Amino acid sequence: MSQKLAVDAGTVQRIKAGYLPGLSDDEVQWQVLPFEARDGLRLEVCVPMLTAPQMLALAERVRKAADTHLRSMPVAEIIEAIDRAMARLLDRNDVYRQWAERWLPVVSGYDADMVRLGLTGFFKTFRAAQLKRFVAEDFSNPAVLDSFQPAAKGGAVRAFGPDLLVHSWAGNVPALSLWSLVCGLLVKAPAMGKLASAEPLFAGWFARLLAEVHPPLADCLAVVWWRGAGGEEADALYGQADTVLAYGGNPTLDALRRRLPVTTRFLPHGHKLGFGLIAAQALDTLKAPAMARLAAWDVMRYDQQGCYSPHVFYVQRGGAVSPRAFADYLAAELANLQRRFARRELDLEEGAAVARWQQSMEWSAEPQQLLGPVDAAWSVAYSDGLQPLMPTALQRTIAVVAVDSLDDVLPVAAAQREYLQTAGIAASPEELYRLAGLLGAAGVTRISAIGSMSMPEAGWHHDGRFNLLDLVRMTEIEQSAELAAQPLAAYAD
């Protein structure tokens, strides 16, 4: 991999992506993915194109290495290794952090400062203390990952990770692959991941870094790529996997589900809708501007590309600051953030989607007012009447809807039950818990503060599921087996 960081605009830098333990570069065909930054810097990312036999051989190598090294490691030692890797990624003088800060903005198109701040906040959630909480969220006794532990009902139980875990990543958020990679490591699963063409860098870097900080893990991971849905090489890998963890659009996930063997455990994470609820008590003349600033950060982070990003803020009437005034505050904050963290340049399809969304707001049955210049790199649509919970065009497009009561939002949200995930709430403690119960019944799986919607905590239950428990199978020694073993002991005579 190239380590050159200072590059003149107009020059082309080339980086090899992926991570292929046991395979040399000249054994592999490479595909070039071109990227260009706003400053003219051009990057060519070379991604590996393996044949089906190479994919099978790599899967076997990863499995054997995990059997030798990863599965025998105590989970505490795995956490320590990940923590050392995170310490390096948080060190801005470390070459891996420098690569991330230099090249992830180029491949993603996001503002460099946005990526820098986002990476720091993201990496902090994978330090040792947070990882221990992560494991404790799913296992009351984390030692169950290391050995058989006493079961409350009698006997003993142990958790085993997949024989081969395959990750299929999306590229909408830089370094998104870290979530599933860490989950796989914590359950001691040999893993192979398929890079996203939109962000083909970070997973391979992390695999290399992990091999540096703990060399026994060097062959326990592999990072590959194929074009689109893939062909024989993809089928060869999927045929070896007993668990597939995938991110992406719902049509892509449905197509992937159909090509997997019926015995393969499939864990998909697809399109989701996030929204915010802001109570009247959060809208006095001091709190409202600060609340709008927090809401704007949730809209700005990665241009709403995360599954947890908000699409609509429902704002209650009756506060000192009206919902319309709150919308004005939000528009002003988005304008300020655009000056600090410029929105990435949109392609023709994305620009057309924003224009269609703006037009649909103005031409809806109850027209919504668009605030700010029509050509701004953000857009706020305000409505005085209750509107359905619908996706925006992303790219910092947000709807603000005035309501008499936050309870009015519940049937609107429940109508999108299968797509619900994150709700941000600004309300009193009593209202928070009352609304949380109602929203949970409607299908919401995560409730956060406004301003934290796009920054999930370590160990959050993604889409309401268990990050680690869903990956393992439990093996039980029943009490009957223990009792039957007693007469056979050497001391029984």
CA distance 314 to 408: 10
Contacts of 189 (CB under 8 A, 6+ apart): 66, 70, 161, 162, 163, 164, 165, 243, 471
Q: Using 50, 70 and 90 to split pLDDT, how confident is the model at 462?
A: confident
Q: Using 50, 70 and 90 to split pLDDT, how confident is the model at 5?
A: very low
Closest listed residue to residue 177, CA positions, set 112, 223, 219: 223
Beta bridge partners of 48: 30
- 164 neighbors 190 (Cβ within 8 angstroms): yes
Q: Does the structure show a pLDDT above 70 at 99? A: yes
Closest listed residue to residue 62, CA positions, set 1, 20, 30, 18: 20
Q: Using 50, 70 and 90 to split pLDDT, how confident is the model at 124?
A: very high
- 424 neighbors 455 (Cβ within 8 angstroms): no
How much is the average pLDDT of 133-159? 95
CA distance 109 to 454: 18
- 187 neighbors 212 (Cβ within 8 angstroms): no
Dihedral Cα 181, 185, 191, 194, nearest 10 deg: 0
Residue 92's CB: how many other CB atoms inside 10 A? 12
pLDDT, tens digit (0-9, with 9 covering 90-100), for 41-57: 899 999 999 999 999 99
How much is the average pLDDT of 2-6? 45
CA distance 443 to 420: 6
Closest listed residue to residue 110, CA positions, set 302, 394, 371: 302
Q: Does the structure show a pLDDT above 60 at 141? A: yes
CA distance 354 to 377: 10
Q: What is the pLDDT of residue 4?
A: 45
pLDDT, tens digit (0-9, with 9 covering 90-100), for 105-115: 999 999 999 99
- 455 neighbors 302 (Cβ within 8 angstroms): no
CA distances from 56 to 50, 232, 236 (A): 10, 11, 6
Q: Using 50, 70 and 90 to split pLDDT, how confident is the model at 301?
A: very high
How much is the average pLDDT of 58-71? 98
pLDDT, tens digit (0-9, with 9 covering 90-100), for 73-90: 999 999 999 999 999 999
Q: Does the structure show a pLDDT above 90 at 367? A: no
Q: What predicted TM-score, i.e. pTM, was given to this entire model?
A: 0.92
When mean pLDDT is compared across 147-156, 302-311, 449-458, the lowest value belongs to 449-458
How much is the average pLDDT of 156-178? 96
Q: Using 50, 70 and 90 to split pLDDT, how confident is the model at 3?
A: very low
Q: Does the structure show a pLDDT above 90 at 7? A: no
Q: Does the structure show a pLDDT above 60 at 8? A: no
CA distances from 314 to 39, 285, 439, 444 (A): 39, 18, 14, 15
Q: Does the structure show a pLDDT above 70 at 9? A: no
- 82 neighbors 184 (Cβ within 8 angstroms): no
Tokens of 79: 């956490």
Tokens of 334: 């988005």
Q: What is the pLDDT of residue 258?
A: 92
Q: What is the pLDDT of residue 2?
A: 42
Closest listed residue to residue 315, CA positions, set 377, 180, 405, 185: 405
Closest listed residue to residue 59, CA positions, set 238, 324, 272: 238
- 318 neighbors 408 (Cβ within 8 angstroms): no
Given the structure tokens 């994150």, which residue do they identify? 422
Tokens of 71: 């599965």
Residue 117's CB: how many other CB atoms inside 10 A? 13
